[in-house]
Amino acid sequence: MGRTVNQISSEELRRYNPMRTMEDYQKDPKVARRRLLSWKMAQIASKILKEKYGAKKVVLFGSLANEKRFTPWSDVDLSVSGMPPQDYYQAAGEILDLGLGKGIKIDVLDLADCPLTMKKKIKNEGIEL
């Protein structure tokens, strides 16, 4: 059962360092393999979105786009632009199934439907595939 911050001793709080945990993930070979698989899945998904569904642009963003933020639980976040709206749900479902078949959750967002703050984040931190 979880504990609240009031139930954690001062010694436990002193030792807690979330950045150390993130550093440990970067050294873990299992996490490195998962990250590599996630990259491969993102590239395959991008190709499908462009060739089958007509997406003009696919951008990877989120933790996979920043090696220091990738964890064992990270998913793949893709934004698409220029894809016919009527194809979005079929495309997103196919890509989700593709990833889940390998144990990787892949989210596809239509950039046109994203809030302005998210659009800026994708533009500034994203990697075009």
pLDDT digits 0-9 by tens, 74-107: 999 999 999 999 999 999 999 999 999 999 999 9
Pairing of strands 106-110, 127-128: unpaired
The per-residue pLDDT for range 12-49, each reduced to its tens digit, is: 766 665 555 766 667 778 888 999 999 999 999 999 99
CB 44, CB 35: distance < 8 Å:
no
* Domains of the chain in sequence order: 10-128 (3.30.460.10)
CB 76, CB 45: distance < 8 Å:
yes
The span from the CA of 91 to the CA of 72, in Å, is 26
Give 79's strand partners. Answer: 59, 109
Nearest to 91 by CA among 102, 104, 78: 78
